[in-house]
Structure formats: C-alpha cells, structure tokens
Amino acid sequence: MKNKLKMKNKSIELIAIFLIQLVISLPLLAADAYAFRISDVKTTRITPNSATIEWATDNASTSIVKFGKEKSLNLMEKSTAFVSNHSVALNGLNDNTEYFFSVESENKDKEIAADNNSNSLYTFKTLTKDQKDSASRLTLDVNIPRYVTRNSI
C-alpha cells in the first residue's frame, strides 16, 4: 500500500513538473509562431542608374534598405511610412555594377525584422547604358482561372 502511494505521489510530481515546464515554455513558442517577419524580397525596375527593392511584412512597418557596391553596405535609403508591402527606390547608381543589399523594417511596437539573405546578402546588377530600361520591357500579366466549366477561357 505504501509503495502504491509513493508511486502515485511520484506520478503527480512528474505531471506537475511537466505542466510547469509547458506553461513556462508556451509563451516562447507562441512568440516565435507570431514573430514579426519579412518575406518576398525582390529587386524590380532595374535600369542603368536605379533599382527598386520590394518586400512584404506581416504587419505595417517602416522600410530600410542598406546597400553598397561592397558587402559593407555603406549606403541607406528609408521610408518612415507604415506599410505592409514595401517598395524603396535606389537612385544614382552606377551602370553595369553589382550591388549588395539587405532590408529591415520596424513596426509600431518597435519590433525590428531584418533580412540579409542568411548573411549572404541579396544582390542585383544594374544594366549597361545601352540596355533598355527594364521597366519599358513588355510584360504580360494574366490570371488564369483555376477551374473552368467550359471548353474555352
């Protein structure tokens, strides 16, 4: 009888320890699941002297692009507007030159999210002076329905 009682008490102690650990670690797991994040970083509208960096965040925040010809990223452009779809124009660039960049956003709660492509940095190369502006290239943007109920679209 005493052994059963001791085992029952031990089991209750183990369950209590497990529940305490669960309660302590749950906010950390939830915080990571709802962390402020950057996604879809891309370079658009590349010309010989400019480029636009775009990305998305999961809530409204400011926009900062750190960039440069070397990985030291000694230049910066920013916007203090709170948006979820970010677009920062980089002007006055040299033609036919590779640039490195990273992006950063700060939301209204002063949380900062940064993306530097896993410490590799993002890159783009400006066009040569004789290349046409990439923004003037013909682009076809269409939406095709997922399901069609007739023989034509």
Residue 78 is inside which H or E element, if any?
strand 75-91
Task: Report yes or no: 44 and 54 within 8 Å, Cβ to Cβ.
Answer: yes
**pLDDT tens column, 39-88:** 999 999 999 999 999 999 999 999 999 999 999 999 999 999 999 999 99
Strand partners for 50: 91
Given pLDDT bands bounded at 50, 70 and 90, which one contains residue 11?
confident
Task: Report yes or no: 103 and 63 within 8 Å, Cβ to Cβ.
Answer: yes
Q: What percent of the chain has pLDDT over 90?
A: 60
Q: What percent of the chain has pLDDT over 70?
A: 73
Report which of 115, 101, 99 is spatially closest to residue 61, judged by C-alpha positions.
115
- How is residue 120 written in tokens? 């590799």
pLDDT of residue 75: 96
Cβ-based neighbours of 58, under 8 Å, separated by 6 or more: 36, 37, 39, 84
**pLDDT tens column, 25-42:** 666 555 445 578 999 999
Enter the pTM of the model: 0.67
